[in-house]
Amino acid sequence: MYLCPQPKILELKKGMLNFPVGEMPKVEKKKTPELSEKESYRINIDENGVLIEGADEKGLYYGELTLKQLMLNYRGCLPYLYIYDEPEFAYRGFMIDSCRHFFSVDEIKKMIDGAALFKFNKFHFHLSEDQGFRVEMESYPLLTSVGSVRPSSNFGKGENDNTPYGGYYTKEELKDIVKYCRERYIEVIPEFDFPGHTTAVISAYPELSCTGEKIELKTTGGVFKDILCVGNPETLKLIYAVIDEFCEIFPSKYFHIGGDEAPKTCWLNCPKCKAKLEAEGLHTMDELQGWLVNEVASYLKKKGRKAICWNESLNGGNLDKDNITVAQWTNKMDKGVEWANGGNPVIMEKFTPYYVDYPYGMHSLKDVYMFNPRKVRGLTSLGAASVKGIESPIWTEYVRDFEKMSYMCFPRWLAVAETGWNGANPKGYQSFLKSAEFYCDILKGLGHTPAPKSDWNVAPHTRLNETVGFFTNFVTPTLIKDFFKKDK
Ligand code: ACM
Ligand code: ZN
């Protein structure tokens, strides 16, 4: 029988429960207070029918999900069995970037359906970028009207399109996604990424950059020098306004405030940023970014929310330990490990192998399956305990449509789900592979386009070809020109 993720304890018993094909067996649900409230559940199947127990609705929901998977395995019968199950990690996340390319509400819901089946419980929604800001805004309306449309797209040989590209979600659409997720016990965590990756914000409000120059949204992928000016008090005003509006839409415990890839060239040359550095008694621009993150994290705390930031925000060495969870994405992990070893929370989404926008030839299904987020070099036992979970992002510079997104994520997200629920690989890779085959067929029935088995783990020479091919595909004349521009 194929279950994904594997339950902690599964005991098959002698006998089968029969019921008419196409119908449900008799199912009793019971709240059992002695079970942990942390998503655990029990299932008993015997001659009396199916009994699902959970401490609360959430536990019952996960029991029902497992029953759903069992039902997919059998027709008109279920084996007598006992299951006890609980997750290893409280945070089991997937991330979608709807900025580089925009995905409709229906496409997002289909991705949620796919992830929900495997017990993911956090949907990190990446909504602001250099190439597009994707939320309807009232307080700063130009973020939407100007910031959501780029003049063209130059993401690689297959996409050099000189027509404007845009899209945003209305508040009603986002609330609908939140409701859809709530019904599946998935928390939607919005991301407003700053101070870097803010070209869309600056294109709408140029006065918030260090130079005040009017710039256009970016049309290629990359890391860009124009970032929000931290020495300008108006910048914090905009950040707080965006957070306020996002918080009205997303009632999540966590709020992601970005903080990755923010070159300090502009800050180092800006009188306002230099004055701010001095006024706060700081010494480096990385510390100034840490100061910004701390300010915003304490604003979020007053609103009852917890901040998540990308690991580069640790570079200044001055993050508050109070209300901040670090999302570790870079392969260089020394500061993230140190943070975790100090007993501070970390979400692991290490580039290699969890970035599923990269080809299977680079991050194979087996590599994803084998990654153990608590067995990272340098982690102490306290550090390992501080890893609160995992997350796998799909960035979309080179993912233009739903079919490609589904192909890149599935079945790799099944491997991530297995680790998220069980910590590591409980039954071994060969057994997982069979489950992956089984559920790829199920996913196809749900309108997904998972990668065929032949692509999951390719031979070494094909790995090299795919890796080289991936990088040469997006090195276009525009990107080379941009790269060598002075003061990039
Ligand atoms: C990231 O990939 N820049 C978080
Ligand atoms: Zn500045």
pLDDT per residue over 337-361, tens digit each? 999 999 999 999 999 999 999 999 9
pLDDT > 90: what percent of the chain? 89
Question: Which atom from ligand 1 is nearest to the alpha carbon of 223?
Answer: 3
Atom 4 in ligand 1: residue holding the nearest Cα: 260
Question: Which atom from ligand 1 is nearest to the alpha carbon of 393?
Answer: 2
What is the structure's pLDDT at 483? Answer: 62
Q: Average of pLDDT values for 262-270?
A: 98
**pLDDT band with cut points at 50, 70 and 90 for residue 452:** very high
Evaluate if residue 119 carries a pLDDT over 80.
Answer: yes
Can you give the length of the chain in residues? 488
pLDDT digits (tens, 9 = 90+) for 61-76: 999 999 999 999 999 9
| Short-list 406, 375, 371, CA closest to 391 | 371
Strand pairing report for 187-191 and 122-126: parallel
What is the structure's pLDDT at 487? Answer: 45
What is the structure's pLDDT at 160? Answer: 84
* Distance separating alpha carbons of residues 10 and 355, to the nearest angstrom: 32
| Short-list 270, 202, 267, CA closest to 238 | 202
Helix (H) or strand (E) holding 480: helix 477-484
C-alpha 381 – ligand 1 centre gap (Å): 27
Residue 135 vs residues 91, 190, 212, 220, 302: alpha-carbon distances, Å: 25, 10, 23, 21, 23
Rg of the chain in Å (alpha carbons): 23
What is the structure's pLDDT at 38? Answer: 85
Evaluate if residue 404 carries a pLDDT over 50.
Answer: yes
* Distance separating alpha carbons of residues 112 and 327, to the nearest angstrom: 21
287 lines ligand 1 (CB under 6 A): no
| Short-list 421, 458, 357, CA closest to 41 | 421
pLDDT digits (tens, 9 = 90+) for 417-432: 999 999 987 779 999 9
Atom 3 in ligand 1: residue holding the nearest Cα: 260
C-alpha 290 – ligand 1 centre gap (Å): 17
Buried b (16+ CB within 10 A) or exposed e, 162-197: eeebeebbeeebbbebbebbeebbbbbbbbbbbbbb
- The number of beta carbons lying within 10 Å of the beta carbon of residue 415 is 31
C-alpha 51 – ligand 2 centre gap (Å): 61
* Distance separating alpha carbons of residues 392 and 29, to the nearest angstrom: 32
Cβ–Cβ < 8 Å for 140, 205: yes
- Locate 162 and state its tokens: 């000189």
Please list the alpha-helical segments (H only) found in 183-264: 199-204, 233-249
Helix (H) or strand (E) holding 180: helix 171-182
Cβ–Cβ < 8 Å for 366, 411: no
330 lines ligand 1 (CB under 6 A): no
| Short-list 283, 347, 272, 273, CA closest to 317 | 283
C-alpha 351 – ligand 1 centre gap (Å): 8
pLDDT digits (tens, 9 = 90+) for 176-234: 999 999 999 999 999 999 999 999 999 999 999 999 999 999 999 999 999 999 999 99
What is the structure's pLDDT at 473? Answer: 74
329 lines ligand 1 (CB under 6 A): yes
What is the structure's pLDDT at 482? Answer: 61
- Locate 283 and state its tokens: 């010494």
* Distance separating alpha carbons of residues 445 and 113, to the nearest angstrom: 12
Cβ–Cβ < 8 Å for 419, 348: no
Evaluate if residue 488 carries a pLDDT over 50.
Answer: no
Residues 6+ apart with CB under 8 A from 473: 156, 157, 158, 398
What is the structure's pLDDT at 35? Answer: 87
Atom 2 in ligand 1: residue holding the nearest Cα: 329
**pLDDT band with cut points at 50, 70 and 90 for residue 484:** low
* Distance separating alpha carbons of residues 488 and 478, to the nearest angstrom: 13
Of 29-38, 273-282, 397-406, the poorest mean pLDDT is in 29-38
| 242, amino acid identity | V
Cβ–Cβ < 8 Å for 210, 270: yes
64 lines ligand 1 (CB under 6 A): no
Q: Average of pLDDT values for 107-122?
A: 98
What is the structure's pLDDT at 485? Answer: 62
**pLDDT band with cut points at 50, 70 and 90 for residue 469:** confident
C-alpha 197 – ligand 2 centre gap (Å): 15
What is the structure's pLDDT at 367? Answer: 96
**Ligand closest in space to the Cα of 312:** 1
Q: Average of pLDDT values for 390-411?
A: 97
Q: Average of pLDDT values for 119-148?
A: 98
Atom 1 in ligand 1: residue holding the nearest Cα: 260
| Short-list 455, 461, 488, CA closest to 358 | 455
- The number of beta carbons lying within 10 Å of the beta carbon of residue 72 is 17
* Distance separating alpha carbons of residues 245 and 138, to the nearest angstrom: 8
Of 152-161, 443-452, 477-486, the poorest mean pLDDT is in 477-486
Evaluate if residue 433 carries a pLDDT over 60.
Answer: yes
261 lines ligand 1 (CB under 6 A): yes
- Locate 156 and state its tokens: 């690689």
Give one DSSP letter per residue of 129-166, joined into a string: ETTEE-B--SSSTHHHHTTTEES-EEEETTEEE-S-EE
